[in-house]
Amino acid sequence: MDVVRAMPLLTVADLDAALDKYVQVTGMEVVMNHGWIATLAPSGDSAAQLSLITTDPTGPVNPSASIEVDDVDAAYRAAMDAELEIVYEITNEEWGARRFFFRDADGNVVNVLSHL
């Protein structure tokens, strides 16, 4: 299993207002916006990304980070083997991702996903 990308997720109350400020301050551009989550990246470079989220529509909590992997099922098995708390069971989402959430020993919730 390989990591494709990793990004922080910041919870915001007003996505549009937050996007305006983050674009203004960082110069990044919006590369994805689903209305409840949006991702910013520098122009022409998707290696550095930041996502802003209001409320996850299917998960029970907002994660604080997302890690995209090439094999989410292998990551899920590894999380189970590591005896991590699975906060959101592995699921195929309507927006084209297969994902699960785990909580680490310090309470951080991480979204692990692969695109379908």
| pLDDT(45) > 90 | no
Is the sign of the CA dihedral 7, 112, 11, 46 positive or negative? positive
Say what the pLDDT of residue 70 is.
Answer: 96
Asked if 111 contacts 97 with a C-beta cutoff of 8 angstroms, the reply is: no
Say what the pLDDT of residue 73 is.
Answer: 97
Asked if 99 contacts 116 with a C-beta cutoff of 8 angstroms, the reply is: no
> Which residue, 65, 70, 61, is CA-closest to 50?
65
The two structure tokens encoding residue 71: 């094999």
Say what the pLDDT of residue 44 is.
Answer: 84
* Distance separating alpha carbons of residues 95 and 101, to the nearest angstrom: 16
Instruction: Summarize the confidence of residues 22-40 as an average pLDDT.
Output: 95
* Listed range (1-5, 28-32, 59-63, 82-86) with the worst mean pLDDT: 1-5
Q: Please give the order of strands across the beta sheet that includes 37-41.
A: 29-33, 37-41, 50-53, 3-11, 65-69, 109-115, 97-103, 85-92
Q: Model-level pTM?
A: 0.88
For the stretch 6-20, pLDDT in tens is 999 999 999 999 999
For the stretch 46-94, pLDDT in tens is 789 999 999 999 999 999 999 999 999 999 999 999 999 999 999 999 9
What is the number of alpha carbons within 13 Å of residue 30 lying toward its C-beta?
18
